[in-house]
Amino acid sequence: MKIAVIGLGNMGQPIARNVLQAGYELTVYNRTKQKTEDLVTEGAQAADTPRLAAKSADIVITMLADDDSVSTVTFGEDGLLEGLAENGIHISMSTISVEFSEKLAAAHAEKGQSFLAAPVLGRPDAAAKAALRIITAGPAEAKQAAKPLLDSLSQQVFDVGEESKTANAAKISINFLLVSMLEALSESFLMMEKYGLEQKQFLEIASALFGSPVYQNYGTIMAEQKFEPAGFKMSLGLKDTNLALAAAKRVSANLPLAELAKSHFENGIEKGFGDLDWAALIKCIK
Among 134, 162, 190, the domain boundary falls at: 162
Task: Kindly report, residue by residue over 152-208, the tens digit of the pLDDT.
Answer: 999 999 999 999 999 999 999 999 999 999 999 999 999 999 999 999 999 999 999
Give CA–CA dist 188/281, Å, rounded.
12
18 & 144 share domain:
yes
Annotated catalytic residue within 171, 233, 262, 283: 171
182 & 157 share domain:
no
Please list the residues that pair with 33 across neighbouring strands: none
Position 54 scores a pLDDT of: 98
CB atoms within 10 A of CB 55: 18
Regions of the chain with pLDDT less than 70: none
158 & 18 share domain:
yes
Q: In percent, how much of the chain has pLDDT > 90?
A: 99
121 & 196 share domain:
no
* pTM for this entry: 0.94
Task: Kindly report, residue by residue over 231-251, the tens digit of the pLDDT.
Answer: 999 999 999 999 999 999 999
> Residue 274 is part of a domain; what is its CATH number?
1.10.1040.10
**171 belongs to the catalytic site:** yes
Q: How many structural domains compose the chain?
A: 2
Looking at the chain, which runs of residues are DSSP E strands?
2-6, 25-29, 45-46, 59-62, 89-92, 114-117, 120-121, 132-136, 154-159
Position 194 scores a pLDDT of: 96
129 & 178 share domain:
no
Domain hosting residue 212, numbered range: 168-285
87 & 223 share domain:
no
